[in-house]
Amino acid sequence: MGDFRHTGRPDGKAIYVSMYWGQRRQRLARIQLPARVQARLEALDYPSLNEEMGVEAALSYSIFVGMRIGLPVRLTGDISVWKPAWGRLENVDRELPADTGIPVVLN
C-alpha cells in the first residue's frame, strides 16, 4: 500500500497512468510519456508502453520506468477505477472530483 497522486492535467513533466473502465468493466490504463522519454526508451529497446493494459500492470511498469529514468509517476483519468486497497489516492488539483465513493485527499 502506498500514497498515489492523481491529476486531471498532465503536464509532460511526469509519467502518467491514464485509468479508465473497459467495455466489460475491467480496470484498464494506458501509460503516457513525454515525447523525449518515449524516444529515449525506444532507443534502449524497452517494450512499447503505448498499449492498453490492466491498471496494476500499467502502474507497476510505469514505476519501474520512472525509477530508471528519474521521473515521477502520476495517475490521471477516471478515479472510480482506483481500488482503495491499492493505497491512498491524493488529488493534486484544486477542484474536487465528482463523488465516486473513493477517498481523495487534497493538499
Residue 7 CA to residue 63 CA, distance in Å, equals: 16
Give the pLDDT confidence of 9-33 residue by residue, as tens digits.
556 778 889 999 999 999 999 998 8
| Nearest to 24, CA basis, from 56, 54, 47, 49 | 54
DSSP 8-class letter at 81: G
φ/ψ (deg, to 5) at 35? -55, -40
Give the pLDDT confidence of 56-106 residue by residue, as tens digits.
999 998 888 888 888 888 888 898 999 888 888 877 665 544 434 333 333
Domain residue limits at 50: 2-106
Domain count, the chain: 1
pLDDT score recorded for residue 101: 37
Whole-model pTM: value is: 0.73
pLDDT score recorded for residue 52: 92
